[in-house]
Structure 1
Amino acid sequence: MDPSSPAPVTPVRLSPGDVLRLGLLGVRTRKMRAALSALGISIGIATMIIVTGIPASSQQAVRDQLSALGTNMLRAQPVPDQDPPVLLPPESVGMVSRIGPVTRVSAVANTHAVVRRSDLVDPFDGSGLTVLASRNDLLEAVNGRVRTGRFLGPASAEFPTVVLGYLAASRLGITTLVPGQEPPQVSIDDHWFTVIGILDPMPLATDLERSVLVGWEAARTVLGFDGHPTVIYVQAREDALEDVRAVLPAALNPQLPGLVQVSRPSDALAAKRVTESALSALFVGLAGVALLVGGIGVANTMFISVLERRREIGLRRALGANRGQVRGQFLTESVVLSTLGGVAGTLLGVVATVGYASYQGWPPVVPVLAVAGGIGGALVVGVVAGVYPAIRAARLTPTEALATV
């Protein structure tokens, strides 16, 4: 080789740090434009977080309300009008509790006693009310609540005390219990029982609203109750509710499971499942629209940036920058803008969602996928939105770019 000839030019390889600094160059030198571009994508990502977080919080509130009604509850009882009558074993609660997905079990039993407001009322006029022997854990099994007073407990259940269902209290003329005053009494088969509590309405257990609940042991000793439950209330995991329903009859009456009938899952559970699937589809649609709008904004900004910076591109190409380096610079700038907007939008969306849900009294729910999708989606949008402007910038030759200066 001729020593006087110039040495071949070796292309300069840029490190990832150099590419990042070049990408940040446009952000630093055009701060207002960069801020507005990041604002566009941040609004899109914040919208995605909000349109998924707020409906998810509302949906969780609806799920909590439906679950409080008893969407995971089943009711098992003997088939009526059999001769001789079908009796469930006294050990029914323990037998059912051994079923894996079952979370709570309780029972009541019809004592066939008559309740009256006073002993002056017709002995055969029970006001259409049923006197039930109740286990102490019944309230938890049916998701019931005490309106006033208290429920049966280990101490009171052995004494002549009763808790009135919502409609039973109304028919007996006992609507409230005043602390400090002597509690009212009712007559059950000529035995006086003290009223210690009144229940709230129970839409999914209306039979208990018309009932007078007596402690299990008190019903045995005072009313002659034989210990055989007549209704078993079961709570189980919602995902296994149908399986539990299928095995309940055999668990309660292994010899004749056909003589035990079990209620189907409540319509509230079906409504809950339909609501979840419908809202999930809505979330996906809204999130897609929000990301599309943000991506169009970034693509538009980067395209205009290429047009405005033709001189810079021409100078860099004239100084030796190859097409790959120019392409990497503008693609990096697009990703940086989108990432900054994605992080800001995610934070804004989370704060707005938590604030609105708290204001409405809902449990704040920010889907993890929405947060991850906010930042990850911003990266994807930045890459997609920056590809064409970056390719367009790289195709400019030095003479073509400088010709417009």
Structure 2
Amino acid sequence: MKAPEFHKTRRLPPYVFAEVNKMKAAARAAKRDIIDLGMGNPDTPTPRHIVDKLVETVQDGRTHRYSQSKGIPGLRRALAKYYQRRFGVQLDPESEVCVTLGSKEGLANLAQAITAPGDTILCPNPSYPIHAFGFIIAGASIRHVPFTSGTDLIRAFARASEHSVPPPTAMILNFPSNPTAEVCDLDFYKEAVAFAKSRDMFILSDIAYSEIYFDAPPPSILQVEGGFDVAIEFSSMSKTYSMPGWRIGFAAGNKRLVGALAQVKSYLDYGAFTPIQVAAAAALNGPQDCVEELRQLYRERREILVDGLNKAGWAVPRPPATMFCWAPIPPRFAHLGSLGFSKLLLEEADVAVAPGLGFGEYGDGHVRLALVENKHRLRQAVRNIRGFLAKHGEPAALRDLDAA
């Protein structure tokens, strides 16, 4: 007799990235040199002064005990200072800030805290998977809203809301966006807050990439009048300070939402290891040169990859922010879909990318390329892809090969 699937795991689709990851592992086992642009996993080490603070703190045995699930006071104060410095926003560290084990954990646990079975949530599509699946695991129904460049997202949310039963209780925003790299301005957030208030909805805003920008600094929804009434915002140390494995993030904003998250977390964890939290506070309070250096590094990598691929005949837009390029599949390969194209690119060009389908059905015409290899490796990726395109008869790639 076949064992029945568990109710919650039955609601989760097969992990799209698993097929590419399996192929990638097999290729590396066969000693092939795979250039991995698939996962948004920063390749640069955490800045030295942050590591030194961790090492210093861990020497004190008193820091080895259980920590606090909502975060140590010093780290919550550091996040409040960051918001004041960066956005001109005042936060109460006690009631408007909660430390999370990365923004992903915070989003998922807040979904558990505020969701009743059958609730409807508005979510852009494509989007980072946890935005939708955190709520799906919690028992909600997701109303996927197609989101492409030029989409009037609030108007699209309004249409979706009018045709949703029951009416939506929350909406997800993510700017700068993963995977699309789209950005927004304060006028958009003003419209979003007004819309949420008119529909009695909460807003969950993910700004994990707010410090990786190449034009104007991205804003916070909490800068908008009334933002604290409806919004909670999630941020992360992972990309800003190249600390992905440290698993430190934050939730800030509406007291009711922050309190609900903190209450759920109090039953689930004792918070991150205290020395990690102390080091994270040192990152926020200390010199910020390292943030600008990382920003400049990603800018240089962006230029190499985008310029190189465009010259090779693959029209890839230049992202205004994030560490990602959201690339439409070349027309010659459109019939393959994003998974088929990603597998072919890995097999024939030794370059791994993330299929857009993994971010939602409306992402299937794109792949995501992460700027997580050094400049030499990115140039090699461009050469490999140029040869791949030429092999399949892309005229621009053939001309580029001739010129080379």
Higher relative contact order (CA 8 A, sep 6+): 1
Q: Which has the larger radius of gyration?
A: 1
Q: Tell me which interval the TM-score lies in, with the shorter structure as reference length.
A: under 0.3
TM-score between both structures, scaled by the size of structure 1: 0.20
More helix by share: 1
TM-score between both structures, scaled by the size of structure 2: 0.20
